[in-house]
Structure 1
Amino acid sequence: MTKVRSVDVGGAAPYRIRIGPGLLDDSAQLAAHARGRHALLVSDDHVAPLYAERVAAALQAAQPELQVATLVMAAGEAHKTLASLGEVIDALATLGATRDATVYALGGGVIGDMAGFAAACWMRGVDCVQLPTTLLSMVDSSVGGKTAVDIPQGKNLVGAFHPPRAVIADTATLRTLPARELRAGLAEVIKYGALGDPEFFAWLEQQREPLLASDDAALAEAIARSCEHKAAIVERDPLEKGERALLNLGHTFGHAIEAEQGYSGAGRDALVHGEAVAVGMVLAARLSAMLGMAPHTDTEHLRSLLLAYGLPVDLPAGLAPQALLERMRLDKKNLAGRLRLVLWRGIGKAEVVPDVDEARVLEVLAG
């Protein structure tokens, strides 16, 4: 049996990440984080039919006096909007949620971001427990307290830092994850090796088959090691004033691709987030090589690993370089209107580079 792994995130608002199969049925652990009388379970119409009733029942079994309401939202990045945020706020109001209420975010990154942002806003901040059900959300969005919604001009531009009270990652939920979503999550796992851990990068090269086969032990190890990397960085830089920006390797390019494509709900051919990050990492590596920061061989090494995991590595057809650059100018890492990108010196050696020459970025985007 795969044991439950724990990763502690320190800092001003410490919390624990628990990783393992069967955790959504652990009623005592789920309810332990509800301090008051009200709990709002937020999920989407893909995940809720699978798990929402179980989670609500588990909460009620452990705390019969807890008033539990469930809100099921439309799935997909296209619905991570201010209007959808309003639905969560309305649900909290209907529940009569007080300042000691708890929001449970059951789903992938979209639900985690949106429910977490609503929790940050309701009465200036109530508790949020993240229950990620995708690999991507387990290793990235559920950890670190970054919450947000998208607007037409760009991804995650309206949001708040709001650390969760706990993260409970039930790896059994990954057994129902579509293969494409699993691969997209593995792009974020590969990111951790690429930005700061060559040994982890090499481990991922060796573990491709068990990871793609959803082996419980391999996935738990990959999730735990990814969360350990993120937890250490978040603890040192909770508000992304410096080092935490490294976690965005590939994301400035990736977010621009997503925004220009209208997010994943816009069409079957649009990249999902992890896929866009995979392409973004290759573009960041190519730009690093073009600027003389890193060897071209490391770019090809990264590209080969992503391809081995079935991930895209090239810009989708039909995206104009100038339009992508305009999107990149809205990135939150930029300072004084100048591009500030996460690039690298090679595998495991990412760094934040200020004032990047836009002409060189356009060259990379143009291929």
Structure 2
Amino acid sequence: MLDRVSKTFSARGNDPAVAALKDISLAIPRGEIYGVIGRSGAGKSTLIRTINGLERPSSGDVIVDGVTINRLDERALRGERRKIGMIFQHFNLLSSRTAFDNVALPLELVGLSRTAIREKVLGLLDLVGLSDKKDRYPVELSGGQKQRVGIARALATDPKVLLSDEATSALDPETTRSILSLLARVNAELGVTIVLITHEMTVIKEICHRVGVIEAGSIIEEGPVSEVFAHPRTTTARSFIGSLPGREVPAALAGRLGADPATATQTVLRLTLTGDAASQPLVTRIARELGIDIALLGGQIDSIGSHPFALLYAGVPTGAWANGAVTAALEAAGVDTEVIGHVA
């Protein structure tokens, strides 16, 4: 949990002081996968460094598993950090050590016996699917395999919390999906709380339960992923969501859209349907009830976590839109509507 955490970096030379975090409060339940999304410079990395104690906040408290991290002395903090695993964008593996020895390193540092280390490391390599690569060096591994070693190493000390700092941004899409699937399995099987920092909305959509949107050091929007996707309140959240495949206005339609309904015969609506509404023939039913034609012009049907989600572009007669009948019927059925433009 973060309780009103702020972090200001002092002025240095000609560089002014920087308020990297501003009064951030977050409550992350045990066992949840929580995503923090923001652009470069928004404060993501500073936020994650305050959670593992690498940065002490200027004000406020960071509480992990009941312990106020920022109020510990260095010796106590080193002990608490064993409860917080970390995986990195560029893996941070030691090139002179095999996959086995990289995973074993944190266990060696706490003084475990060689027998205990071997048993633990082999179990972790099996968990991440790399039992057959235990004697390979990082140079012999693919990017996805290196990240699996990094995940196994982060889990070596049985952490309560696993921090992921842009862990998939250096990977191709297929490998990214496999790593996210592994993290979801780690969360489900081990009950580890995961805090995931990213600038990619596809990552949030894939595995996170809740998401916070960070901008200029502040959390500007926060909630269940399905709710933020369906009802983004801020321009930044809408921008991230709009970058997802299927969210953009179909190219053939975009070139025909105009702003003036006076000369239009068809008004184009973006319809957002969630939950039961996403799997019901609502558009067909409303068209039949109103005695009008509704043309489906594009969109996608998907799921956010276990929640059905549909985004559709629909063309309706401009007259029916102008008198409010279509919008009223859609909103009564629980469909969010947004006018995209008009077609002559």
Higher helix share: 1
Higher relative contact order, chain-length normalized (CA < 8 Å, sep 6+): 2
TM-score with structure 1 setting the length:
0.31
Give the TM-score taking structure 2 as reference length.
0.33
| Structure with greater strand share of residues | 2
Query: Radius of gyration: which is bigger?
Result: 2
